[in-house]
Amino acid sequence: MSKNVGSPLSLRRWLKSAGYAWAGVQAVYRSEANFRIEVWAAVLALTLTLVLGAPLAPILLACALVLSLELLNSAVEAVVDLVSPQPHPLAKVAKDAAAGAVYMAALFAVLVGLSVLGPRLWALVSDG
């Protein structure tokens, strides 16, 4: 017999899980300078998007991708440090690949931002 999805127990479990997830976000925000920079860059990009009246969805998705991958990168680094406290070539590959994923997402997020916001910013600058 399956549980009722709307039961208080499942809501309680979901809230507990959400609490753990939020604790992870807070821990990474406190410990990782790059994540803090990316969070504030996302706030700036989203604010600029709203002020310029540009389409929100591509900017939201790009920001979510970069921030999510940075969280995963931090998780990979923590696990690698736990299981391989001494330098190891495979540990380096794992850490570098996770960092590379963030780098690629950030690079393409900038391109999304330029394509969505660039024309509107150019119009403001060229009209002024």
Annotation: binding site for a divalent metal cation? 32, 77
Binding-site residues for substrate: 13, 70
Element (H, E) at 7: none
Query: How far apart are alpha carbons 96 and 51 in whole angstroms?
Result: 37
Query: Is residue 38 annotated as a catalytic residue, yes or no?
Result: no
Token look-up 């001494």 returns 86
Report whether 35 contacts 67 (CB < 8 A).
Answer: yes
- Listed residue (49, 48, 66) closest to 57, CA to CA: 49
Here the tokens at position 29 are: 């925000």
List the catalytic residue out of 70, 98, 106, 109.
70
Binding-site residues: 13, 20, 32, 70, 77, 95-96
Active-site residues: which are they? 70
